[in-house]
Amino acid sequence: MKGKMIQAMLLAAQGLRDLAAFAQDDATQNSQSAAANAKSTKQADRALAKAVRRALGKTPGFDVSGVFVKARSGAVTLSGSVKDGSQIEQAGEVAKSVQGVNSVSNKLTLFHGGNG
C-alpha cells in the first residue's frame, strides 16, 4: 500500500513539473512576442513622426526647424515653436493629412525671439 502511495505521489510530482515547464515555455514565447511587437510599434511610431516632419518640411513657407513631432499609435503631438501664428494651425492641418495619423495634439507656440 505504501509503495502505491509513493508511486502516486511521484507521478503527481512529475505531472506538476511538466506543467510548470510548459507554463514557463509559454511565458517565454509570450514575452518574446511582446518584445517583437513593442519593437515594431516603436519603429512604426518613428516612421510616422518622420513622415509628418517630412510633410511639414515640404509645406511652402513653413519653417520646421523649431518643430518637434512625436507619434504614438497614430496619435501625433506637435511641440516647439513657429515664427508665424498662422503656421500653428497650418501644422496641425498638414499633420492630419498624413496617412496613418489618427489624431493631432498641437502644442506649438509662437516664437517671440530673445533670451527670455
pLDDT in tens, 99-109: 999 999 999 99
Count how many Cα atoms sit within 13 Å of the Cα of residue 13 in the half-sphere of its side chain.
Answer: 6
Kind of pairing, strands 67-72 and 103-110?
unpaired
**Is the predicted pLDDT of residue 74 greater than 90, yes or no?**
yes
CATH of domain 2-110: 3.30.300
Phi/psi of residue 62, each to 5°?
-95, 125
- List of residues 6+ apart from 84 with CB closer than 8 A: 110
Identify whether the C-beta of residue 48 lies closer than 8 Å to the C-beta of residue 27.
no
pTM over 0.75: no
Ranges of each domain in the chain: 2-110
